[in-house]
Amino acid sequence: MVVFFYLLFALLVGWFGRNRLIGFPGWFVAGLLLTPPISAMILLFTQSARKA
């Protein structure tokens, strides 16, 4: 059950990071390696890859 939620939160981090420089796969792996809360905090400080 814990593994399920860990993977779910890592997928959410990847989803929110899909428009960033490293995209979904990079943020998903970051979520797995750094734990989802830490990678989510890093994600908050990164800029979108798209120019407004």
Report the pLDDT value the prediction gives residue 17, as an integer from 0 to 100. 94
Local structure of residue 47 (DSSP, 8 states): P
- Is residue 34 assigned to a domain? yes
Report the pLDDT value the prediction gives residue 51, as an integer from 0 to 100. 63
- Is residue 18 assigned to a domain? yes
Cα diameter, the chain: 40
User: For residue 10, what are the domain limits?
Assistant: 2-44
Query: What are 19-50's pLDDT values in tens digits?
Result: 998 999 999 999 999 999 999 999 999 888 77
Report the pLDDT value the prediction gives residue 49, as an integer from 0 to 100. 76
Q: Does residue 1 register a pLDDT over 90?
A: yes
CA pseudo-torsion sign 35, 41, 44, 46: negative
What would the mean pLDDT of 5-31 be, rounded to a whole number?
95
The model's pTM is: 0.84
- Is residue 50 assigned to a domain? no
- Is residue 38 assigned to a domain? yes
